[in-house]
């Protein structure tokens, strides 16, 4: 069985790490360079950096900030936000990113997934999907959850895989920032549907939520932000707990 991964996420706005609830009520939580190094030193398996307003504001991800964060890491580093063409990804790779994450741009131009996978390899391409559930129907959204797309979560995730995505990062907007647990039923359905790794985001509040995620949600990785940023759960303690539950972690 593959080891499960624990992934802290840095949501970046105006060069600072921020966190909200259900994608709103955003507040600053610290310097992304310091936080990235801290998580790397604590034993995080990977780090995700998302420039959360880049697409909405129509600008590119902060390449200089990516360089500064990457210089302090010894773990894989995924960067997303405002990537709409191959040259954007090229710049981020040169700045130290190991993978790039695309979301709104993939929905607007699904061929971008094919192009990135062909050019850089599937292992470089993470397709992020922010979806909201209404009356049992999961719909993908764009621009940090601001715009509904009409795309159904499960069919869109499978299309992304077929086009060459190497991983799917699914965020449940219903669960984001609530600390009430992950969207395990949807995650289990996604993990059965996909053959590529599935990263779960949205809802982590306790160590038990991670054990439930891996046992019932069947995800390959658990991504969280505020519980790590505010010191509510330390990564070494979380990994120790998961091992005690019989879950294989790195």
Please report, to the nearest 10 degrees, the dihedral formed by the alpha carbons of residues 181, 98, 193, 226 taken in order. 10
How far apart CA 157 and CA 129 sit, in angstroms, is 8
Q: Which of 153, 80, 79, 88 is nearest to 119 (CA)?
A: 88
| Active-site annotation holds for 11 | yes
78 in helix, strand or coil? strand
Instruction: Say if CB 51 and CB 12 are below 8 A apart.
Output: yes
Q: Is 220 a catalytic residue?
A: no
| Catalytic-role residue among 45, 51, 88, 130 | 130
State which H helix or E strand residue 133 sits in. strand 125-134
Please answer whether residues 213 and 249 qualify as being in contact, where contact means their C-beta atoms are separated by less than 8 angstroms: no
> Which residues have CB under 8 Å from 180's CB, separation 6+?
203, 205
Cα distance between residue 17 and residue 69, in whole Å:
12
* Tokens (6 digits) for 124: 């470089």
Say how far apart CA 32 and CA 205 lie, in whole Å: 21
Residue with tokens 């996909």: 194
Largest CA-CA distance found in the chain, in angstroms, rounded? 46
Instruction: Name the catalytic one among 11, 51, 176, 220.
Output: 11
Active site residues: 11, 130
């Amino acid at each position: 069985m593959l080891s499960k991964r624990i992934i802290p996420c840095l949501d970046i706005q105006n060069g600072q790490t921020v966190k909200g609830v259900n994608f709103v009520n955003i507040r600053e939580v610290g310097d992304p360079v310091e936080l990235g190094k801290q998580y790397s030193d604590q034993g995080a398996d990977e780090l995700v950096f998302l420039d959360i307003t880049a697409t909405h504001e129509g600008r590119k991800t902060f390449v200089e900030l990516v360089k500064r964060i990457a210089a302090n890491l010894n773990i894989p580093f995924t960067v997303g936000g405002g990537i709409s063409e191959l040259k954007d990804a090229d710049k981020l790779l040169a700045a130290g990113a190991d993978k790039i994450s695309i979301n709104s741009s993939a929905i607007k131009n699904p061929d971008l997934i094919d192009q990135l996978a062909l050019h850089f390899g599937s292992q470089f391409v993470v397709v992020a999907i922010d979806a909201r559930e209404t009356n049992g129907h999961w719909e993908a959204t764009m621009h940090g959850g601001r715009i509904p797309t009409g795309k159904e979560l499960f069919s869109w995730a499978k299309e992304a895989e077929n086009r060459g995505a190497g991983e799917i990062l699914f965020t449940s907007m219903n669960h984001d920032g609530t600390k009430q647990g992950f969207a395990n039923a949807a995650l289990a359905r996604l993990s059965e549907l996909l053959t590529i790794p599935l990263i779960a985001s949205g809802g982590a509040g306790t160590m038990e939520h991670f054990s439930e995620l891996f046992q019932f949600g069947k995800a390959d990785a658990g991504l969280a932000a505020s519980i790590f940023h505010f010191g509510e759960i330390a990564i070494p303690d979380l990994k120790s707990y998961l091992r005690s539950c019989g879950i294989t972690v790195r």
